[in-house]
Amino acid sequence: MKLASIGRRLSLSGLTLVLAAGCARAGNHSPKTEVSPETNQRPVALVPQPALPGAVAIADVAEKAIPSVVNISLTKVSRAPSMQFFPFFGPPGNEERREQGMGSGVIVSADGYVVTNNHVVSDATEIKVTTHDKREFLATVVGTDPKSDIALIKIKDPSGLTPIVFGDSSSARLGEVVLAIGNPFGVGQTVTMGIVSAKGRADLGIVAYEDFIQTDAAINPGNSGGALINMEGKLIGINTAILSRTGGYQGVGFAIPTSMVQPIMESLKKSGKVVRGWLGVSIQDVDQEIASAMKLPSAAGVLISDVRAGTPAAKGGLRRGDVVLKVDGVAVTSTGQFRNMIAASGAGKKVTLEVLRDGKPAAVALELGEMPEVETAALPGGPGAPQGGGSALDGLTLQTITPEARRAFGIPDDVQKGLVITRIDSKSRAARAGLRPGDVVLEVNRAPVDSIQRFNELYSKSRDGVLLLVNRRGNNQFVVVRR
């Protein structure tokens, strides 16, 4: 009597699980069963089952994509002060230090273009690409985009390359099985499996433009720049970061979706840089408190908290206080998504924004400009200052803008009106709302303020909460303080 393994295929969301089941077989006879002495019953015999239509073997998916994923090793040169002591051994000099790095990349064209992460190849002086069949090539950087952590490199004298097939990352579903392919810890090409845990992850502080696919497929140092593929063997993301307390894999990894990778890749190929669309506004998410204070029908869209003079937004008629609900018919769900949509549209693109203005729907058509190299960012409040006048808002001390206050808190010259917060009680409602010393209160419930008396008057009329427009180091934002 011989034991034979019978493959039984179960299809689960496009995934084939192969279960091994043992049964007794003799020659070509039918499966035998034996009577159980305890129950006097015959157990059910396992019989071979045909593969279900459309079933996919994970090994086949991996083999399809593996030739398109490469290992990247590189050399970086840094200069550091040498260990010389002036004046006994001459003036201090600089020593050249050669550092080795590693990562992964994905072949995107047969003529040698490879997509990887910016942090993998930044400052590299020599780049070597190793394919799955151990062939080695030298490569050069075509262009990098630190704001998205994408880089494009080009293999010198390419031959016999297998480019990846791009998939549609926007159609990926939560719970969908995915594979991560890369070179963790430099041990060599590795395949790990997981699912799509979440989509649209942003505001993580990893890079300026974030729209990550979150996955629990194991990603470790060295996987950066590698492929995240679906069960069709198509690329849906470039693995870039993990969330970890130890520096190693803890079940939370992030990949840049191909919907973001492809336009950046094409822009880098064309001009060596990324030309993003730009409005020239400050924005913030609409939460329940903002929606209630502004009497909005729901906490949806993105609030325009400031419109800078002379920008495409100002020329197109966008106003502070507008709530953007859609861009060219696509719903706006968060500030991160909105920034990505505008940036990805590119300079010169004409877009139509559907907004709520004073509670009424309106359409704003405008042409996007080109994002400047450096944008103004909100910074923490300035140092303390002498106590000023009081206000009706408990725990908050305000004063008019004086030359001394302007110097102490770094108030921009173009902020001429408003009241500067000079002191705040750390346990007050104002502090819990996020206000800081150095913030300049410009409006209370959408009305301008230039005196403490006016502030108190407007505040006293508020019932549930007060809506403040504050300027923080040149950037405006709305803040709701509960009463």
Least confident range from 151-165, 179-193, 201-215, 320-334: namely: 201-215
Domains in the chain and their CATH numbers? Answer: 2-55 (no CATH), 58-79+95-274 (2.40.10.120), 277-370 (2.30.42.10), 396-482 (2.30.42.10)
Confidence at 483, pLDDT banded by 50, 70, 90: low
Distance CA(422)–CA(66), nearest Å, equals 60
The catalytically annotated residue of 145, 149, 211, 216 is: 149
422, 382 Cβ separation under 8 angstroms: no
Of 263, 116, 261, the C-alpha closest to 182 is: 116
Interval 72-124: pLDDT, tens: 998 876 555 444 433 333 344 455 556 677 899 999 999 999 999 999 998 88
Q: Which of 68, 197, 224, 267 is catalytic?
A: 224
Q: pLDDT value at position 404? A: 76
Whether 149 sits among the annotated catalytic residues: the reply is yes
Note whether 281 and 258 are within 8 A (CB). Answer: no
Phi-psi region of 311 (alpha: psi -120 to 50; beta: other; left: phi over 0): beta
- Angle, in degrees to the nearest 10, between helices 335-345 and 258-271: 30
CA atoms within 13 A on the CB side of 63: 5
Which among 68, 119, 282, 305 is annotated as catalytic? 119
pLDDT digits (tens, 9 = 90+) for 431-459: 888 888 899 999 988 889 988 778 877 87
Lookup: tokens for 478:
């709305």
Establish whether 119 is a catalytic residue: yes
* pLDDT of res. 327: 95
Query: What is the average pLDDT value for the chain, to the nearest integer?
Result: 80
> Which of 364-368, 376-380, 389-393 has the weakest average pLDDT?
376-380
Q: What average pLDDT score do residues 158-183 get?
A: 95
Catalytic: 133?
Answer: no
Return the number of other C-beta atoms located less than 10 Å from residue 465's C-beta.
17
pLDDT band of 191, cuts 50, 70, 90: very high
Q: What is the Cα gyration radius of the chain?
A: 30
Residue 316, H or E segment? helix 312-316
Q: What is the DSSP secondary-structure string of 125-169?
A: EEEEEE-TTS-EEEEEEEEEETTTTEEEEEESS--S--PPPB--G
Interval 316-328 mean pLDDT: 95
